[in-house]
A and B are shown apart, each in its own frame.
Chain A
Amino acid sequence: MSLSSLPVTAGGRPTPSPRRRIPGEARSVAYLYILPAVLLYALFVFIPFAHSIYLSFFKGNGVTRMEFVGVENYVDIVTNPVLRSAFVHAFELIVFYSLIPIAIGLLLASVLHRSRIRGVAFYRTALFLPYVIAPTAIAVIWRWILAPRGPLNSFLEAIGLGALAQPWLGDFTWALPSVGMVGTWVMFGLVLALLLAGVQKIPLELYEAARLDGAGPWMEFRAVTLPGLRYEIVVALVLTVTAALRNFDIIYVMTSGGPGNATVVPSYLVYQQAFKVAQIGAAAAMGTTLIVVIVAANLLIARAGRRDA
């Protein structure tokens, strides 16, 4: 489920605290309003979360007795090379899901800040489409594009670069970057649309003032564009980093973690350990660690965004 984290609105805005009394009603009426949502959230998100932490200290298949093993499952994540590599791969995917799209987006935004484009709706629809469609379908489509005799290799041969043709997803070196490139394709349009919407709001006078002060394109970027897009960059980072770390569907369909373990990622190992080899505790520890990594990454991003303010 790409219920990616979207803390987009009301960033850090303090809530005005309502002091006025509601006529004829106790404030506790609020509990009735929040009850259904909070109940379902507690039952199907929060209790499983707590249960996941609990399970992570046990070994077993979840059916027969579970044996308490303390932090052993967590020690395994650090010491077992395959488990550890899942997190290394997840961080490498951040380069493709996050950094490359944001770099492309910033480059285009700084070139495009002076043009006022008509037909924004068309461009926005096109740029958002890869982000909207099911990752399972994206994986099927790109497995075709990257197939040994697929369109990408045909294209490389057609332009005389046949030497670069690869069995992309079957190659130990290229499998992870290939999966990453799919992430770049999914994310770059979203990030570009986000940054373009932001750059259109930077007053043109700021650019003119920078130019009068003798700023070149690089200084102009550093002094005007980048600070003006701070908020949009934070939003883009939150969306893309979280997607890179969660990434299950694309790996499941395109590579199943292979060749070898070249593309295993945490969410895939959670699934594999729980439902293929029935190591419930190890899977829970992997899942819990992934939550910690995702929450920590988002806090870091939010904090960096605030410090620059």
Chain B
Amino acid sequence: MISRRDTIVGYLLLSLAALISLGPLLGVVILSLGEPGKVGIKIDIAKATNFGNFADVWEKGDFGPAIQTSLIITTIVVVVSVALSIPAGYAFALINFPGRTAIFALLVLGILMPLESMIVPLYLDLRRFNLDNNYWSVILPQIGFSVAFGAFWMRAFFVQSARSLMEAAWIDGANTWRTLTKVLLPLARPQMLTLAVLFFVWNWNDFLLPLVMLSGSDLQTAPMALVNFEGARRTDFAYLGAASLITIAPVVIVFILLQRSFTRGILAGSIKE
């Protein structure tokens, strides 16, 4: 029995929780439109009219090139990682080849590996091969970390939903590649989209890897531009608010447009019956 009172209490509590989540972000929107250069950091919605802050910050913080760099890196990482995760997940799920269990176990271990721990050898190794200070020094390790989760995720999909279809295709004489591309891939679109959204969010937000790899170059990603801008203007909070919003905007837009795909990725276990 669901009483009216329970439902009202439910809405109130959830609205309060949503307000706590959104409050600081709404505060930053107002902050970012305030008067720049003021040390006073109270926000005043009546004076939140300085839309020029965004143009100023875009210029002064070099956000144009930074957003471009982030878009280039993240797009390549997302496309390549999804493209490599699919055949890997497929083979791990459906083909019984020698060494399958051991190789898969090593790959899954990578999901737990914190990049923070590997940053020192990664830097030394890439520098030795003169791969540091360019796009690839960020792109290649990001792909390496992404495919560990990606292969795991796609394998789970193929294990659950593809067996009988695949066997039917095999009986019809299709080989493994035809089965994958003609029969299974059209069905896997939602899983691929979820993977793409997760990869986009994680790799766009990544900070330590580009910080270390690009430190000797003029290249910087959006989070790096934000942190550099912050280091130069510790208390100019109106500008810092605008810079934060510029940095997070692409992810927020992608997330709101594709939130179903993203939450499906995170909630997968609980939604699955």
Residues of A that sit less than 8 Å from B by CB: 1-11, 13, 15-20, 22-25, 27-34, 36-38, 40-41, 43-49, 51-52, 55, 62, 108, 111-112, 114-117, 121-130, 132-137, 140-145, 147, 149-151, 154, 185, 188-190, 192-194, 197-198, 201, 208, 231-232, 235, 239, 242, 245-246, 248-249, 252-253, 266-267, 270-271, 274-275, 280, 283-284, 287-288, 290-291, 294-295, 298
Contact = CB atoms under 8 A, between A and B. Distances in A.
A37 B17 contact: no
Interface in B103-122: 103, 106-122
20 contacts: A3-B115, A3-B203, A8-B265, A9-B157, A16-B163, A40-B144, A44-B143, A45-B145, A48-B125, A114-B1, A114-B6, A140-B240, A189-B21, A192-B17, A197-B271, A267-B117, A271-B208, A274-B120, A290-B114, A291-B112
A291 B267 contact: no
Contacts of A27: 95-98
B118 to A, nearest CB: 4
Given A41-B107, A55-B120, A248-B116, 20 more contacts: A1-B115, A40-B147, A41-B147, A48-B118, A49-B121, A62-B120, A111-B10, A115-B10, A125-B256, A129-B21, A134-B205, A140-B244, A141-B24, A144-B41, A150-B41, A151-B27, A154-B42, A267-B117, A284-B120, A294-B112
B241 A141 contact: yes
B226 A123 contact: no
B270 A197 contact: yes
A219 B130 CA distance: 63
Contact of A1 (B1, B148, B205, B256): B205
A9 B268 contact: yes
Contacts of B159: 10, 13, 15-16
B93 to A, nearest CB: 7
A124 B100 CA distance: 38
Nearest to A207: B1
Contacts of A117: 7, 10-11, 14
Nearest to B255: A132
B25 interface: yes
Given A23-B170, A115-B10, A235-B270, A1 B112 contact: no
A144 B237 contact: yes
B16 to A, nearest CB: 9
A291 to B, nearest CB: 5
B40 A149 contact: yes
B96 to A, nearest CB: 5
Specify which of A9, A18, A124, A294 lies most central, judged by the most chain B CB atoms within 10 Å of its CB. Answer: A9
Interface stretch (B45-53, B83-91, B182-190): B83-91
Given A2-B202, A231-B269, A142 B226 contact: no
B133 interface: no
A116 B95 contact: no
A193 B145 contact: no
A248 B207 contact: yes
B6 A7 contact: no
Nearest to B138: A1
Interface string B50-85: 000000000000000000000000000000000011
A62 B21 contact: no
B40 A10 contact: no
A18 B170 CA distance: 12
B121 A51 contact: yes
B263 A37 contact: no
A62 B146 CA distance: 28
Given A3-B202, A38-B88, A145-B24, A48 B208 contact: no
B251 interface: yes
Contact of A37 (B7, B84, B123, B268): B84
